[in-house]
Chains A and B, each alone.
Chain A
Amino acid sequence: MGVRLTNVAKSFGSFQALKDVSMEIPTGSFAVFVGPSGCGKSTLLRMIAGLEETSGGQIAIDDRDVTAVEPADRQVAMVFQNYALYPHLSVFENMAFSLRLARRPKEEVNRRVQEAARILQLEDHLPKKPSQLSGGQRQRVAIGRAIVRQPKVFLFDEPLSNLDAELRVQMRLELTRLHRKLGATMIYVTHDQVEAMTLADRIFVLKGGVVQQAGAPLTLYDDPDNRFVAGFIGSPAMNFLPAVIEAREGERVTLRLEGGDHRFETQLAGDAALGQPVEIGVRPEHLQIADNGLPVQVEVAEELGDVSYLYARTATGREIVVQRQGSRDRLDGQTVQLSATPRNVLVFDAGGARLR
């Protein structure tokens, strides 16, 4: 196992930043910790790096307990959000820094730096100082500094946050290629769910110091365990509407929306009491304009060419986003009716847990 956390906890005074976190990240996989600010994802990464002490639990890398091991001896390398390059040293010396501290032979230092530079296409920049490089190049140097150490685990703490949108997309692709080329275990922290979806083999969604759900990106997207994950993964976010369970016939359940007499149907295998207040969740791309459905007033329509987003409001004032493919109809200010097929209607109980 690449990285295994067992009941890991972290407290800052009386504040519990992480509560009983357990997870397994297989060797060679790309794991992403995602969640809103303050959810504990960076703290968790820093604990794996050894930069934060644990308040409880165990951290193992390659099946070796490293909970009390010094950061430099954990065989991890970290890429920071602000790069943390040494500005007074050249790109070469930045990348060679850890090897020189470890007193590696000169030829080995040279070979490993050149190899990392080749992988990251930094050969021409080796004599330069970090201040002479662009944001993307600096980030590559930071990654290069990690590569030369040949760590067992690469840790990335929101490494693309300081880059502009275009460069972020480019670096995302480069990271995926790099992961395939090196085959190393990588753990990546981000608050951007698009980065999480595009990079990860396995996503860990955190909130309030607790792992809400872990799984493959599309599993989290299609089959979220709770309302938080359903709302966090996906852009635009899932629509939520309060409802009550009105009728049940086997697995077929009828849900009546609050404050109106419109109904959605879905399938639930588990317990669901009649009259139980719930919330239904439907993704924007799963809502269709129909002849008979939930009436909404379109306030704004964003036409992006291949896709358009309708920002609409129900009679009870709930905001709803609808995604349409290839449509050229101008619907601003119009009232339309929306429907969804039963298998795309998710149900969450009052506590936010998914009813299946």
Chain B
Amino acid sequence: MSPMKRIENTVLTVLTLLAALVWIFPLYWTFVTSIRSDENVAGNTSILPDEFQLKAYLDAIFNTKLTVWYVNSIGTAVIVTVLVVLISMLCAYALSQIRFPGRRLLYGIVLGSFMVPAQTLVVTQFVLMNDLNLINSWAGIILPQLIAPVVIIVYKQFFDSVPKEMREAVVLDGGGEYTILFKVFLPLNWGITTAMSIVTFIGVWNAFFWPFLVVTSEDMMTIPVGITQVNDAFGVAYARLMAVAMLAALPVIVTYIIFQRRVTEAIMISSGVKG
């Protein structure tokens, strides 16, 4: 390696490390705050952990509805993930493989909906859910989150890339659409389904805006919404708040550590970097 190249690599490594530090610092600060006592939080500017206690965690677990929110979050995330992947896969398969009138228009609508920011739809969705009496209901939380054009687009790209002879071979072998999709196309690349499931799960787990709007009952809140309820009569209890935040982030962190490569791949696939 030439000296210039070595310097270039070192500079790039240092810059990447600095960027990583900027990203990791809030998580670190949350953790450090969560292991301090509430009295020691205010005005404490020490970066290093000067105290280690789990009172805030125990407090969060036993004196808030954290476990209920956890169950709600897991339930919502699993249901939405399964439904999003299944519906989007079927939709993409139809758009890619079945010839029917209006196919292009339908795909145009899917692409169009991808370009509309979710926030612009919130009022309409809220009014609709209200008219359907779905505020403060599981259906109200789940239904609007099932719209995932990016998953449809990724699946369609994948189905489009499968050679048409593969489909024809199954047809000649006596298989129908179910066989083509579930016994041949999907097993060709489980990576796509895994990636889409991970991205959807993380997205739903972290979703705050919609669940915050549609749920007012504390018993139906998901973790990100529940965090807003972690205060006491004297105001915000920062250590406890940070402990809940740490526990809320835990599944995502664990998922990331276990499926690190898959998550990176999923983000690349859904952002169009990798097809």
Contact = CB atoms under 8 A, between A and B. Distances in A.
A145 B175 CA distance: 14
Nearest to A78: B172
A71 B184 contact: no
A290 interface: no
Contacts of B172: 49-51, 71-72, 76-78, 98
Interface in A58-105: 71-72, 76-78, 80-82, 84, 86-88, 97-98, 101-102
Contacts of A82: 163, 165
Interface residues of B, number: 15
A78 B174 contact: no
Given A51-B168, A78-B168, A78-B169, A84 B174 contact: no
Nearest to A88: B187
A78 B168 CA distance: 9
Q: Which of A76, A81, A87 has the most CB of B within 10 A?
A: A87
Contacts of B118: none
Contacts of B163: 82, 84
Overall SS of chain B's interface = helix
A102 B171 CA distance: 12
A82 B179 CA distance: 21
B8 interface: no
B166 interface: yes
B173 interface: yes
Nearest to B168: A51
B194 to A, nearest CB: 14
Contacts of A50: 172
Interface string B170-203: 1111110001000010011000000000000000
Given A80-B165, A82-B165, A86-B166, A102 B188 contact: no
Contact of B179 (A51, A84, A88, A101): A101
Contact of A98 (B165, B168, B174, B187): B174
A301 B176 CA distance: 57
Nearest to A79: B169
Q: Which of B165, B169, B184 has the most CB of A within 10 A?
A: B169
A102 B173 CA distance: 9
Nearest to A74: B172
B99 to A, nearest CB: 11
A86 B170 CA distance: 9
B184 A86 contact: yes
A98 B173 contact: yes
The 3 closest A-B pairs by CB, nearest first: A98-B173, A84-B165, A72-B174
Interface of B: 163, 165-166, 168-175, 179, 184, 187-188
8 contacts: A49-B168, A71-B171, A72-B172, A76-B172, A80-B165, A84-B169, A97-B170, A101-B174
